[in-house]
Amino acid sequence: MVSTVTALGALRIPRTDIHYAPCMKAGNWVFLSGIEAVDYETELHPAVAGTAGLPHHGLPRHRREGDVICARFKQLLAQAGTSFANTVRLDQYYPTWKAVDPYHLARRAAFGDYIPPSTSVIMESLLTARADISASLLAVMPGGSREPRRVSAPQVTAPVWSGFVPAVTAGDFIFIAGQMARGADGNTDPRAHVPAHSRWGGYEIRRQTEYLIREKFIPALSAAGSSLANAVKAQVYLRDIDDTAHFLDVWESHFGKRQCALTIVPAKDFGLVPGIIEINLIAVTDGGKAKKQVIDGCIPAAMTYGAAAVRAGDLLLCSGMLAVDNKGPIAGIAADKALPYFGIAARAQMETIVDAIKTVCTAGGTHIDNVVRIHQFHTDLADFSLMHRPWQEALGGAPIPFTAIGVPATLPVPACSVIADAWIYAP
């Protein structure tokens, strides 16, 4: 099958066989993945590294890092034929909270008065040593009534220091920023928390999840002309992965069981100190031409916590996948114990996930060649190169739009070491 997506700005990482696609154009969508302030010949970009022996000259280091990333955004968007004005979603990962505010200054300077819905999460590590910001950006092509429009829901706000728009529509799609248990005034909302000094009277993860759904997602979706029934994709970040079952119990009571693509990832920290969960959401409008189609039952149910995937318009959005079947972790993980230095578990996990994505693509009417975004969450980034090979084989050596982030161990299935979250173009 001939791919209907185009890689822009592709490069081969020096001294490796990795062919990286920082930008994928697919129909009216533009996907930027894993953008870091990196010169792959020299580690950090020279503008970030600064002058040896003069560490405190010029702008703060993280501001310089943010400036380089935003300049790369602008360059790739222009190459694709779009601009900051047509962006609809931002995802950012940092190994230190100290990078966030300087990056926000760079982002505001580059984007101007409009910053799209954003999610920022503190994680363990990035692929590049000394890099402290990894960002992915989604945009639409101009025209065709796709221009982002702000959603007005007074209780759904963003911290003033971040400056992003909490929710936008673009055509039939709705993009809602990462939401936390924060009131409209920016402070924690008592309704989201167990009362002080109470042993019982609620459970914190349940209170925060319920609050996000009732006080953030329902109002935002309603204001955008949609509802929970038309949610198609959510990413969920948990401070404590042991909260997974409680979260799911609350989530499914509102959204239904396996009716939304769902990725659950452990996180190290959040912008809201008492926050233990952050969720972003994509939906389609109730009366739009882009219809929601749940794709499920084609792979083992235990591989995902939501539907295997949801097709919405011309996108197939997979749930985060783990290398398990309905009996537990795949056999290749256990086999690694006898031969621990051969990378058996790493390769077996990603082979299982890539094969599952192929199956889901077939069920969703598309092909894995049309993958436009891959976010991988690793407990050990040393596995990345081994886990990259199944993608190379599946895509025939084509450039790959990857982001790889180191997350706190353990994953929702403790024996596994990676979660893969893939988006595929489905024209």
State how beta strands 149-150 and 118-122 pair.
unpaired
- Mean pLDDT for the stretch of residues 3-13: 90
Residue 29 covered by a domain? yes
Q: Give the domain extent around 10.
A: 1-147
Residue 72 covered by a domain? yes
Residue 188 covered by a domain? no
- To the nearest 10 degrees (0 to 180), the angle between helices 61-80 and 100-111 is 40
Residue 102 covered by a domain? yes
How far apart are alpha carbons 66 and 161 in whole angstroms?
A: 16
The model's pLDDT over 227-274, given as tens digits with 9 standing for 90+, comes to 999 999 999 999 999 999 999 999 999 999 999 999 999 999 999 999
- The DSSP code for 213 is I
- 3: confidence class by pLDDT, cuts 50, 70, 90: low
The model's pLDDT over 84-119, given as tens digits with 9 standing for 90+, comes to 999 999 999 999 999 999 999 999 999 999 999 999
Alpha helices in 6-116 (DSSP H): 46-49, 61-80, 100-111
How far apart are alpha carbons 337 and 101 in whole angstroms?
A: 43
Q: What is the pLDDT of residue 2?
A: 46
On the CB side of 400, CA atoms within 13 Å amount to 25
Whether 263 contacts 236, CB under 8 Å: yes
Phi-psi region of 225 (alpha: psi -120 to 50; beta: other; left: phi over 0): left
Q: In 10 A of CB 3, how many CB atoms?
A: 17
How many domains are there within the chain? 1
Residue 134 covered by a domain? yes
Is 28's pLDDT higher than 80? Answer: yes
Whether 338 contacts 299, CB under 8 Å: no
Is 16's pLDDT higher than 80? Answer: yes
Residue 108 covered by a domain? yes
Question: 425 has which bridge partners?
Answer: 315
Q: What is the mean pLDDT of the chain?
A: 94
* Distances, alpha carbon 79 to alpha carbons 129, 274, 411, in Å: 28, 41, 37
Residue 154 covered by a domain? no
Structure-derived torsion over alpha carbons of residues 358, 375, 22, 146, reported in degrees to the nearest 10: 80
Whether 277 contacts 180, CB under 8 Å: yes
- Mean pLDDT for the stretch of residues 45-57: 87
Least confident stretch, 28-37, 43-52, 80-89: 43-52
- The DSSP code for 85 is G
Is 217's pLDDT higher than 70? Answer: yes
- 417: confidence class by pLDDT, cuts 50, 70, 90: very high
Written as six digits, the tokens of 190 are: 């008592």
Q: What is the pLDDT of residue 168?
A: 97
How far apart are alpha carbons 343 and 144 in whole angstroms?
A: 48
Residue 23 covered by a domain? yes
Is 1's pLDDT higher than 70? Answer: no
- The DSSP code for 414 is T
Written as six digits, the tokens of 62 are: 């993280």
CATH code, domain with 16: 3.30.1330.40
